[in-house]
Amino acid sequence: MTIQKLSRRTFLTTTASMGAAVAASGCAGLRRSQAARRRQPNILFVFADQMRAQEMGCAGHPTVRTPRLDRMASEGVRFVNAVSACPVCTPYRAALLSGCYPLTTGMFLNDLRMPTNIPTVGTVLRDEGYHMGYIGKWHLDGTNRGVFTPPGPRRQGFDDFWAVANCTHDYMKAYLYRDTPEPIWLNGYEPDVQTDIAMEFLDAAPPDRPFCLFVSYGTPHNPYELMPEEYKIYRPEDIQPRPNCPKPSLKDIAGYCSHITALDRNMGRLLDAIDQRGLAEDTLVVFTSDHGDMLGSHGQQRKQRPWDESICVPFLIRQPGHVPAGIKSEAIINTPDIMPTLLSLCGAEIPPHVQGEDLSKVWTGHSRNAPTSALTACYVAFSEGKNFPEWRCVRTNRHSLVRNGLGSWMLFDNREDPYQMNNLIESPGHSEIRSRLEKDLERWLERTGDTFEDPFYYIDTFGYPVDKETKHIPYYVEYGKSD
């Protein structure tokens, strides 16, 4: 697959015409017979914020209890090499919806507003006749984190059901917007209420149309302690820190694990709701996260780092009768691959601008022809990442090669060294694999039009008004405005 880099002006002009073409072709989807529509699967796409791949019982975690996610893994496929293309919130979400890499869309910083003329998974499935819904964190509507996203193009196709806050992480004093600019303040722990709202969506979904519901939880993202007291089920003394964590904050990790078990409980509620409504065989359920959390591993915190704690995310799928059960797959999945794969599974045409791979046959067990590597990157290290160098990483199902602005920096054998504690970049015995991975990384950079420039080159190219010290676009919170 050839990936072309376009200037932002060329890209937005090109995608405007693409969007019109996709919308026109989508009218055919609206005219399909009811019988044809019933053959299209429902989509329930659930993703956490800042949950790393290692933090599930089915992934071998020694402490955290995730029986519902473990059940989902036993009833479907767990992909153990799922990667976040740019491990930070807004860039991931833009890549998820558009199927494009961040330098193509310009969405490589937090608090950017996503262009509205790029066909997304939402607009395409809407035009296919899907009943579209989005619940939870959005973080694609600009610098006002309290903004009201009005009905229309800024909802990116999720037009039928909207219960969203642009960006908030106060899980005990949360709010959302529906279709008016008055914030609705939630009573209780935010993920619990969001799951209640998902039940509302399922009950109201029209029976003669397939549905697509995205549920975006804000947890287990910090603050780690914000939850009801009875949900704090892990004590710091219960925690076994990862061996690569020299100075762990056991209190933070205990809170993080508690958020995950609460999230697991809500995922169980969603799975039960699908089953009890007789929708299991008709509904593809996906569970994943936007990126991970270092939590002290390698002496680092949060995301925007090239180690697996930051870049690797959980990825589970389930659809009885259509997805094989109890499979642990080593196939590589990258964020831009999700959009075209979902469209293909729904029988929808993939727009020509999409850069990700259609992995529908891999997901359903009909092919093992998956990509051999994934590109993940930090193009501009901002805010929490401001004192860390920008980097590019190519990750296979065994190795990681990381390059910074000075050249190849780290090489890990993730099979022999799962905690990535032994940097092999200067190892004579690994010169051949290093050379092969460096060539692979070069191919990825060429395919995505990335010449690995200084971060301010990208900031200036797209004209973003960043804070010069943090390299972050300054954000604020003002409720009820639509900007």
pLDDT band at 39 (very low <50, low <70, confident <90, very high): confident
- Cα(334)–Cα(354) distance, integer angstroms: 13
Q: Where are the alpha helices (DSSP H) in 277-334?
A: 308-311
Confirm whether 21 is domain-assigned. Answer: no
Confirm whether 152 is domain-assigned. Answer: yes
Write out the two tokens for 1: 């697959």
Q: Mind telling me the catalytic residues?
A: 89, 139
Confirm whether 9 is domain-assigned. Answer: no
pLDDT band at 46 (very low <50, low <70, confident <90, very high): very high
Q: Is 404 left (phi over 0), alpha (psi -120 to 50) or beta?
A: beta
Confirm whether 85 is domain-assigned. Answer: yes
Asked if 51 contacts 386 with a C-beta cutoff of 8 angstroms, the reply is: no
Residues 229 and 204 in one domain: yes
Residues 260 and 388 in one domain: no
Asked if 249 contacts 178 with a C-beta cutoff of 8 angstroms, the reply is: no
Domain of 281: which CATH number? Answer: 3.40.720.10
Residues 250 and 218 in one domain: yes
Give residue 214's identity as a one-letter amino acid code. Answer: F
Confirm whether 5 is domain-assigned. Answer: no
Q: What is the mean pLDDT of residues 455-461?
A: 96
Residues 415 and 354 in one domain: no
Is cis: bond before 119, omega within 30 of 0? no
Given a cut of 90, is residue 248 above it in pLDDT? yes
Which residue carries 């973080």 as its tokens? 139
Residues 335 and 394 in one domain: no
Write out the two tokens for 80: 């153990």
Name the domain boundary from 345, 371, 397: 371
Residues 268 and 395 in one domain: no
- DSSP secondary structure code for residue 469 in this structure: T
317 CB neighbour count, 10 Å cutoff? 27
Residues 218 and 286 in one domain: yes
Asked if 337 contacts 85 with a C-beta cutoff of 8 angstroms, the reply is: no
Burial category of 278 from C-beta neighbours within 10 Å (exposed 0-12, middle 13-18, buried 19 and up): exposed
Confirm whether 3 is domain-assigned. Answer: no
pLDDT of res. 13: 41
Pairing of strands 315-318, 131-137: unpaired
Which residues span the domain enclosing 454? 377-462
Name the domain boundary from 336, 371, 406: 371
Total number of domains in the chain: 2
Residues 330 and 390 in one domain: no
What is the CA angle 139-168-131, rounded to 5? 55
> Model confidence over 263-319: pLDDT tens digits?
999 999 999 999 999 999 999 999 999 999 999 999 999 999 999 999 999 999 999
- Cα(297)–Cα(208) distance, integer angstroms: 49
Write out the two tokens for 350: 């993939």
Write out the two tokens for 91: 């860039």
Residues 276 and 397 in one domain: no
Could you tell me the sign of the dihedral formed by the alpha carbons of 461, 462, 468, 471, in that order? negative
Residues 362 and 383 in one domain: no
Q: Which residue has the higher pLDDT, 16 or 75?
A: 75
Confirm whether 471 is domain-assigned. Answer: no
Task: Give the pTM.
Answer: 0.93
> Model confidence over 374-414: pLDDT tens digits?
999 999 999 999 999 999 999 999 999 999 999 999 999 99
pLDDT of res. 12: 44
Name the domain boundary from 350, 371, 392: 371
Indicate the SS3 state at residue 217.
strand
Residues 348 and 395 in one domain: no
Residues 397 and 355 in one domain: no
Confirm whether 346 is domain-assigned. Answer: yes
Domain of 445: which CATH number? Answer: 3.30.1120.10
pLDDT of res. 9: 40
Which residue carries 């905690």 as its tokens? 419
